[in-house]
Every structure is written in C-alpha cells, then in structure tokens.
Structure 1
Amino acid sequence: MADQPMNPDDPRPTYIRIADQLRQDYEPGGQLPSAPKLAEQWGVAKETVRSAIDVLRKEGLVISWQGRGTFYRTQADTVDAATSPTDEAILGHIERIMSRLDEFDDRLAALERSRGSANGA
C-alpha cells in the first residue's frame, strides 16, 4: 500500500489523494491498516487519514466496526442500486402501514365502545 510517496505537486487536498490511493489498493473484504499506521506511512496527521476514510465510507466502499477495524466492502456488503427500493416504493409501504394502523385504531375503538356498553356505561 502506498509504496511510493504521494506527488507533492498534486494540488488536491491530501485526504483526497490518500482516498484515491486507498481506492487503488481496493481488495474486497480486505482490512485497511489503522489510521495511525497509515498516517505514519504517509507522514500526515491521523485526522487527514480519517478524512480520507470518511470519503470512502460515504462512497460505500468501506465499513468500520468499533474495535475490529475498517474493511473494504465486498459485493455482498453493497446494495445494488437496481435492487434498492425507490422513494416511491418506500412511500407505498408507509401508506400501507398507516392504513393498517388506521384499521387497528378503528377496531380498538369499536372494542372499547362494546366493552363500555357491556359494562353499562
């Protein structure tokens, strides 16, 4: 990983250049070295490395677990855009759930009324 030093003439922010290097080193399921180790390797602050990893996390390329580390995601970890639900589908599910809740509320109210009349209220 990052055997050659980063190009100092590259005008992009350092964390972006590190993110690019980490993308090149992408190995599905592989574990990234710790932020302190990467910071030492590239001669940058740990926060710079963390910012680079955050870029990859936002892109869905890595996943982190407290105490375990950060890993490149495998194909199985990622959700294919073609199979992920659309906003319209999600709203449809919400509408059906809300409709069922309304039905439940109506049944509950009817049950409470019948219990009240059975008790002479």
Structure 2
Amino acid sequence: MPNELMDPDDLRPVYQRIADELRNGYVPGGQLPSAPKIAEQWGVAKETVRAAIDVLRTEGLVVSWQGRGTYYRVRPETDEAPASESAVLERLDEIMNRLDDFEGRLTALESSRDSGAAQ
C-alpha cells in the first residue's frame, strides 16, 4: 500500500489517500489498527494518519474512544442523507458525556464497596 499512497500522479493529499484506503477496508464494527501502526505500515507521520481518521470521523464512518481505539460504525442501510459534521460531533459528545458519567458512577460504586469491605 505505501507505493500506492506515494504515487506522484495522484494529486490528492496523503491523508486523503489514507482515508480512502481505510474507507475501502470498511468492516461494520471492526477496529482500525492504531495510528502509530498505520503510520509505520505506510511510512507516514502519525499526524497524517490522525488527519485521515478525522476525515472518516467527519463522515460518520468511524468513532474513537481514548484508550479504546477507533472502530468502524455499524450503519444501517438507508437512503437518508448523512448527518452534518456538527450533528455527528454533537451526538458523539453526548455519548462521551454519558460514558464519562457512567464511569464516574461505577468508580463511586466500587469505592463505596471497597470502603465497606475494609470496615
């Protein structure tokens, strides 16, 4: 793949070429390799890979969680127009806030359980 990405006749930015390659590998629910792994595989900077993943995120094709990875979204077949970038980002923020809230509650429950067991 690195040779295809560095084709001098292809005038698209490298991050766009990587995004296209990742888009072609779409597997609903599948996990993308890490940015450092993709960067090493294709001989580009991690920031270039992150820019490519941002393109896919903007299109609503992937979702990322810090420490968990980046996954292709499971998208139902539909004729509806894709959501706008701002709508996708708002929904992602809402999901991440709910996840943070859930993790906070879980930590509080674990702490209360641990302190109850210590008594």
Matched, 1:72 2:72: yes
Gaps of 5+ in 2: 84-119
Gaps of 5+ in 1: 85-121
Distance 1:29 1:3, change over 3 A: farther
Structure 1 partner of 2:10: 10
Structure 1 partner of 2:96: none
Q: Kindly indicate whether the alpha-carbon contact (under 8 Å) linking 2:39 and 2:45 is maintained by their aligned counterparts in 1.
A: yes
- What is the CA distance between 1:75 and its match in structure 2? 1.9
Identical pairs, percent: 69
Q: Kindly indicate whether the alpha-carbon contact (under 8 Å) linking 2:30 and 2:71 is maintained by their aligned counterparts in 1.
A: yes
Deviating runs (4+, > 6 A) in structure 1? Answer: none
- What is the CA distance between 1:4 and its match in structure 2? 6.0
Structure 1 partner of 2:58: 58
Q: Give the TM-score normalised by the residue count of structure 2.
A: 0.60
Q: Kindly indicate whether the alpha-carbon contact (under 8 Å) linking 1:60 and 1:73 is maintained by their aligned counterparts in 2.
A: yes
How far apart in 2 are the matches of 1:41 and 1:13?
18
- What is the CA distance between 1:41 and its match in structure 2? 0.5
Q: Give the TM-score normalised by the residue count of structure 1.
A: 0.59
How far apart in 2 are the matches of 1:13 and 1:47?
13
Residue correspondence of structure 1 range 1-121 to structure 2 within 5 A: 2=1, 5-6=4-5, 7-75=7-75, 81=80
How far apart in 1 are the matches of 2:78 and 2:68?
22
- 1:70 alignment partner, SS class: strand
- What is the CA distance between 1:5 and its match in structure 2? 3.8
Instruction: Kindly name which structure, 1 or 2, has the bigger radius of gyration based on alpha carbons.
Output: 1
Distance 1:58 1:40, change over 3 A: same
- What is the CA distance between 1:66 and its match in structure 2? 1.2
- 2:71 alignment partner, SS class: strand
Q: Kindly indicate whether the alpha-carbon contact (under 8 Å) linking 1:5 and 1:42 is maintained by their aligned counterparts in 2.
A: no
* CA RMSD in angstroms, aligned pairs only: 2.4
